[in-house]
Amino acid sequence: MAKILIVDDSIVSRNNLKNILLGASHEVVGEAVDGEDGLEKYLALRPDLVTMDITMPKLNGIECLKEILSRDPQARVMMISALGQGAKILEAVNSGARHYITKPFETDKVLEAVTELMRE
């Protein structure tokens, strides 16, 4: 039962993800609406895991990822992308993201990714 921070500028996406996670008894400790907000909340809440949308205003997902990792190299960050963002995901993974899921969300895939990440 992980403590998870959701970072996504779309409220629909946040709700979707939240429902999936809560359904598997994970705890959603916070929601952020952009990269800046995400960084702040991470530092404040120190969740077990962060889901990070790639395209966001202010600070985008990859930059936020880097910021978090520079302060907490052990951070578990899972990128969220739309279809066809392969190159961006590669960049994120190369920068330290541990996993990724694609939209539209498939419940089992999401939960599997969370479990795998938490095992590390």
Partner 1 sequence: MAISEEQNLDLEVESAEDQSIGNLVEQTRAFAPMDLGGAVHAFFSEHAGAEGVVILDGTAPAGLVMRNDFYQKIGSLFGRDLFINRPIKLIMNAHPLVVDVSVDIATIGIIAMNRPHDQLYDLVLITENEKFAGVVSVKRFMIDLSKKREIQIKLLKKQKESLHLANEAEILHRKQIEEKSLELSKKNESIKNLMDNAGQGFLSFGPDIVVSGEYSLECVQIFRVPVGGKSFLELMAKHVSPDGLTVMSQVFESVFTSDKSLREKVYLSLLPTEFSIYDKAVSIAYKIIQHGGRKNMMLILTDITEKKKLETRMTQERNNVKMVAKALTKQADVNLAIEEFRAFVRDEAKAFVEAASDPRAALAEIFRQVHTFKGDFAQLGLYNTAANLHVLEDKLAAMSARENAPGREELAGTAAGWDAQALLQEDVNILTDILGKSFFEKDERFQVSAETVLGIEAQARALPDSPEREGILTALRGLRLCSLKGILDEYRDYLQTLADRLGKPVEPFYVSGDDVLVEKEAYQKFIKSLVHVFRNMIDHGIETPEERLAAGKRELGLIQCQIEQCGDEVRLAVSDDGRGIDAAKVLRIAESKGLLSPEQAKNMSVEEVYGLLFRDSFSTKDEVSALSGRGVGLSAVKAEVERLGGAIEVDSKPGHGSKFKFRLPLS
Position 43 contacts partner 1 (CB under 8 A): no
Among 23, 27, 90, 107, interactor with partner 1 by CB under 8 A:
90
Position 98 contacts partner 1 (CB under 8 A): yes
Least separation, in Å, of the C-beta of 2 and partner 1?
15
Bridge partners, residue 101, by sequence: 80
Contact between 50 and 75 under an 8 Å Cβ cutoff? The reply is yes
Position 93 contacts partner 1 (CB under 8 A): yes
Position 54 contacts partner 1 (CB under 8 A): no
